[in-house]
Amino acid sequence: MNEKKRRHASLWLAIVVLVLCWTIGPNFFRQLSADSTDTYKGLKLFSDVIEIIEENYVDTVDEKELMQKAIQGMVRSLDPHSQLLPPEAFEELQMDTHGEFGGIGIVITMRKNLLTVISPIEGTPAYRAGIMAGDIIVKVDGESTEDMMLWEAVKKMRGTKGTPVVITIVREGLPEPKDINLVRDIIPIESVKSLVLKPGYGYIWVTNFRDNTTKDIKKALESLESGEVPLKGLVLDLRDNPGGLLNESIGVSDLFLEKGIIVSIKGRIKRHTKIFKAHSSDIIRQSYPIVVLINGGSASASEIVAGALQDHKRALILGTTSFGKGSVQTVESLRDGYGLKFTIARYYTPSGRSIQAEGIKPDIVVKQKYIEVEAEDKDDGRMLKEKDLKNHLDAEPGVNAEPEKIKPDKTKSKEDKNSKEKPDMQDIRTRHGKLHIEKLLSDNQVVRALEILISYSIFNGSKS
């Protein structure tokens, strides 16, 4: 019997080593040689635990599932953005940036093991239903999300267009959990919308950074710049923009810069340290001022754009402090359709500021509210930030950012407000649907940005 156990333990140890090599790669052997004693002891302990559980646990365990969860636990302990991606989760990740999919339209994360909304995506069922940044999703179709992996929750909320799903949220200010009935739709890939706020003053709203975002912004700019009145100022709206592709954020920044650093990434190893610079262009867009709008839902790629334009004095940043997601992830393909998503570096603005857990601080702080709506103030103090996430990376190795205190929500519940507001106030609050000048001009941050641009034109002697 003892001989059988020894053979069994040896077999498990071999499996553990193979799995770790499969996950970590060829560098594992060099690390194993460098510290073989501690590594062997750790692997032996791991195999002992698996053997004891397999032989003695009250229910039969699935060895493959047990191993997968062990690897997932190891990776998730690093930071909130690193994870092992089973084949279905890996496929979902690829859909996010390259194709259409059916779903409800939210960006989510795990905060203190709670499934939390970073921001809804414009024009989606979640947006129309009024789901907000900071909402905690406690159930999906009646099933608790307490022990769900992030990818599992995403998979449950995605589905065929026209099919229903019920999510249960907890929100500060609501007395009890609230069920929200949603019908899945195709989540739009369109990430850029634009219009003229006033002759000579353009508005571009970027909802996320996908494959064609730079190209779409360029088209929008060309349309605004070729209008009957020359473009005198631009409002670039990055609020509630959860980010996306790094190369697209660099491309968008490059549209407005002629030279200098856009962003740098610095990792522990040399190949993960890079500097991205602006290039001169045939079309020089330096003649008109820009105001960039950000808030606590502006993360990652949107923070890169805001930071680059702020440091180069190319734009004035208005709003509230951004999310602070300044870490770089890469995804390595593994065997059998698995993927490993893990953090390799931190983002830094041109002046060397770390975005991680710090965010981009606006030049002018303006909290959002809607004009003619009774005292509604969307206080960003209650919004989820990167530094609130468990195991978040520090701004610099060993330099910790203090968690932001969440201010109590003193506003009335939505049910109370709806009785006093016009029927279209909900639509104004969520900025859902096609852009309408009337709705934008009820947004105090947009109005303030426009006033700044007009004032700039006046001081520079041009008529507005």
* 3-class secondary structure per residue, 85-144: ECHHHHHHHHHHHHCCCEECCEEEEEECCEEEEEEECCCCHHHHCCCCCCCEEEEECCEE
Q: Which residues pair with 293 in a beta bridge?
A: 237, 318
Q: Residue 376 has what pLDDT?
A: 42
- In this predicted structure, the answer to whether residue 378 has a pLDDT above a threshold of 70 is no
**Distance, C-alpha 117 to centroid of its chain:** 10
List active site positions: 300, 311, 325
Domain with CATH 3.90.226.10 in the chain: 192-327+346-379+415-459
Segment among 58-72, 139-153, 424-438, 449-463 with least mean pLDDT: 424-438
Max Cα–Cα distance, the chain, nearest Å: 93
Q: Residue 372 has what pLDDT?
A: 58
Contacts of 320 (CB under 8 A, 6+ apart): 294, 295, 296, 362, 365, 366, 367, 368, 380
pLDDT band at 387 (very low <50, low <70, confident <90, very high): confident
pLDDT digits (tens, 9 = 90+) for 244-269: 899 999 999 999 999 999 999 999 99
User: Which of 29-43, 293-307, 378-392, 422-436 is most confident?
Assistant: 293-307
Greater pLDDT, 411 or 39: 39
Q: What is the mean pLDDT of residues 276-300?
A: 93
Which DSSP category does 396 fall into? B
Q: Residue 425 has what pLDDT?
A: 32
Q: Residue 96 has what pLDDT?
A: 59
Calculate what percentage of the chain has a pLDDT beyond 70. Answer: 78
- In this predicted structure, the answer to whether residue 5 has a pLDDT above a threshold of 70 is no
Q: Residue 419 has what pLDDT?
A: 36
Q: Residue 432 has what pLDDT?
A: 40
Q: Residue 152 has what pLDDT?
A: 87
Q: Which of 147, 122, 138 is nearest to 180 (CA)?
A: 138
- In this predicted structure, the answer to whether residue 99 has a pLDDT above a threshold of 60 is no
Q: Residue 379 has what pLDDT?
A: 46
* E strand residue ranges, 152-211: 164-170, 178-183, 185-186, 192-198, 201-206
Calculate what percentage of the chain has a pLDDT beyond 90. Answer: 54
Domain with CATH 2.30.42.10 in the chain: 100-186
Domain 192-327+346-379+415-459, architecture per CATH: Alpha-Beta Complex (3.90)
Segment among 35-49, 216-230, 278-292, 298-312 with least mean pLDDT: 35-49
Would you say 88 and 151 are in contact if contact means Cβ atoms under 8 Å apart?
Answer: yes
pLDDT digits (tens, 9 = 90+) for 118-130: 878 777 999 999 9
The CATH classification number of 100-186 equals 2.30.42.10
User: Which of 10-19, 79-88, 197-206, 387-396 is most confident?
Assistant: 197-206
Q: What is the mean pLDDT of residues 192-211?
A: 94
Q: Residue 374 has what pLDDT?
A: 40
Average pLDDT, whole number, for the chain? 83
pLDDT digits (tens, 9 = 90+) for 39-95: 888 888 988 998 899 999 999 999 888 888 899 899 989 998 999 988 887 876 666
pLDDT digits (tens, 9 = 90+) for 216-225: 999 999 999 9
- In this predicted structure, the answer to whether residue 320 has a pLDDT above a threshold of 60 is yes
pLDDT digits (tens, 9 = 90+) for 339-377: 999 999 999 999 999 999 999 999 999 999 877 544 344
pLDDT band at 208 (very low <50, low <70, confident <90, very high): confident
- In this predicted structure, the answer to whether residue 10 has a pLDDT above a threshold of 60 is no
d(CA 90, CA 33): 32
**Which two tokens mark 308?**
């680059």
pLDDT digits (tens, 9 = 90+) for 130-188: 999 889 999 999 999 988 888 889 889 999 899 999 999 999 999 999 999 999 999 86
pTM higher than the cut 0.75: no
